[in-house]
Amino acid sequence: MTDVTDVAESKMAGTMTRTRDQDACPGALTVHQAADGALVRIRLPGGMITAAQLTALAETAEQFGSPAMELTSRGNIQIRAVTDTGAAATALADAGLLPSATHERARNIVASPLSGRSGGIIDVRPMVRDLDRAIQADPALAGLPGRFWFSLDDGRGDVSGIDADAGVHARDDGSCALLLAGRDTGVRLDTGDAVTTLIEMARRFVATRGKAWRVTELDDHAALLDGFTPSAPAGATWPPTVTPPVGWIEQRDSRVALGAAVPLGVLQARVAHFLAAIEAPLVITPWRSVLVCDVGEGVADASLRVLAPLGLVFDENSPWLRVSACTGSPGCAKSAADVRADAAESVDAPTQTHRHFVGCERACGSPATGEVLIATEDGYRLRIAPP
């Protein structure tokens, strides 16, 4: 890990200059200077993380930043108010969370969180690992913007509705549909060709993107498909999934996965230590929740008794599943209010409509459906236009 650490220390020495061409999406090495200090974002392909790695993240947050870690809508984790960015990068590298200094912001892969354990047509976990390795092995893909992301849906339709730039969706006939910007292109792939095709889409994007960060910003993203022949109608989309899998989930191997929603996506380091103590594989979902996987019933029962009092949500009817918020004040200088505090108060007046509280017009983190409430000097107003 020495080479990664050296790069980390040199890049963390100061704030990197950003332009539209470079893209301002933060990573573990290219930090974002927020109102409360440096923010680092750790990519977790497929949301997968080991107990030891979660422990390392919690310790990094406690030692060098805010213990209130943030789960993102891409299944990643952020640490805010980092005071020693070089030391934080070294700790992340030592934990295996920073395998490539050049490609760390390009490792944006979201996948069906329960794949291979419960439901779905295929197990996409091997594809996550293969795609991650292929991204890191391709020098050209170091030029992928930090906002470009891939989706691997095992056929249940949970992540195909998130409008990733390039993705595949498993089908009942054994093929995969190729997606661009969340839409079925009509191109059908053998499962074994999925990773190489996604890498090719990413290469073509890098070569033609100009100043675009996302496929939807291209003048003609259909040009990415030159040489591919559709064999089915194009244009199909999937409805967005807005609530996480929570509670006691039976796995097909008779073991259990525990789905824990994290209120407002804020995972305290102390709670992370308890999650890691179960010593089970973990998945951070795109809905700001955590899956504790592959545990026996006895361990699952004991874990529920410990984790629920810590504030994690295991009830699928909880009002916490229908409220979210951006960072807000004091972490964001652009915010007009402490939107997290206001969102937390709104739980006492639950509705069936998801409500997302934001501190300014940028409406960061807005879900695909529901109400977006924008803070103003006179309270909140409902955003009419879609996010």
The model's pLDDT over 226-271, given as tens digits with 9 standing for 90+, comes to: 999 999 999 999 999 989 999 999 999 999 999 999 999 999 999 9
Residue 37 is part of a domain; what is its CATH number?
3.90.480.10
| Residue at 104 is within a domain | no
pLDDT attached to residue 253:
97
pLDDT attached to residue 33:
87
Higher-confidence residue of 229 and 18: namely 229
How many domains are contained in the chain? 3
Structure token pair of residue 287: 């809905």
Q: Which of 285, 313, 341 is the last residue of a domain?
A: 313
State whether 197 and 264 are in the same domain: no
Q: Residues near 179 by Cβ (< 8 Å), separated by ≥ 6?
A: 151, 160, 164, 166, 167, 168, 169, 185
State whether 213 and 126 are in the same domain: yes
State whether 307 and 334 are in the same domain: no
| Residue at 113 is within a domain | no
State whether 308 and 328 are in the same domain: no
| Residue at 363 is within a domain | yes
The confidence band for 3, taking pLDDT boundaries of 50, 70 and 90, is very low
In which domain, by residue range, is 355 found?
322-382
- Considering the entire predicted model, what is its pTM? 0.92
Residue 145 is part of a domain; what is its CATH number?
3.30.413
State whether 246 and 328 are in the same domain: no
Q: Which of 206, 240, 274 is the last residue of a domain?
A: 240
| Residue at 375 is within a domain | yes
State whether 126 and 236 are in the same domain: yes
| Residue at 106 is within a domain | no
Interval 186-195: pLDDT, tens: 999 999 999 9
State whether 171 and 233 are in the same domain: yes
State whether 355 and 285 are in the same domain: no
The confidence band for 328, taking pLDDT boundaries of 50, 70 and 90, is very high
State whether 218 and 125 are in the same domain: yes
Interval 116-162: pLDDT, tens: 999 999 999 999 999 999 999 999 999 999 999 999 999 999 999 99
Distance CA 125, CA 258 (A): 18
Structure token pair of residue 174: 């054994």
